[in-house]
Amino acid sequence: MYSVGIYVYHGKAYLPAQAKFESGIWTDIDPVFTASLNLDELVAAIQNVIAAGHPILPEPTREEWQRRKDPVLTATKARSWKALAKNGASYSIYQKDDEIRVDMSYTDKKGRWQNDPQKVRIFPGDAPLKEIVQVILDDIQSRPKVF
């Protein structure tokens, strides 16, 4: 099983490693891998995220969570998630059992990313990563403000 988040902002992809809190909630962590928006670089960055694994972290205290610097905002230099969503896109790849699910974002009326149920793609568990990434790149290219 693996999970990969891809944040596209100002023509570049940002892919943080991901961890899971003991409660089961996922969070982005360092390192954040970057890639140009081309097939080979994006595949390599995804492979780096997968290789980093998904450590299990203890639950942070409220104070620890408030002090935490978000690795994606730090890497992109965006001031907020809303600023990131305004000029970017979000994708996730989730592999479990015999399937790989790709979610693609849209920006809602409040300026936040939401997964677009019309764009969900399900691949067989043995689908080549290049095939999956090409679907994401095709979507990125359809968004002029992102590409």
| 38-74 pLDDT per residue, tens | 999 999 999 999 999 999 999 999 999 999 999 999 9
The model's confidence at residue 1, banded by pLDDT at 50, 70 and 90, is confident
Mean pLDDT of the chain: 95
Contact 13, 88 (CB under 8 A): no
Tokens at 106, concatenated: 């849209």
Nearest-angstrom CA–CA distance, 56 and 54: 7
* Structure-token match 């909630």, residue found: 25
Tokens at 9, concatenated: 């902002």
- With a CB cutoff of 8 Å and minimum separation 6, the contacts of 109 are none
Closest CA to 104 of 128, 87, 121, 122: 121
Q: What are the structural domains, with CATH classification, of the chain?
A: 2-141 (3.40.1590.10)
Q: How far is CA 63 from CA 2, 66, 143, in A?
A: 29, 5, 38
pLDDT at 16: 98
- Supply φ then ψ for residue 126, to 5 degrees: -100, 15
Q: What is the pTM of this model?
A: 0.94
* Residues paired with 121 in a beta bridge: 102
Q: Where does the chain have alpha helices with state H?
A: 39-52, 62-67, 71-76, 81-86, 129-141
- How do residues 74-92 score in pLDDT, each as one tens digit? 999 999 999 999 999 999 9
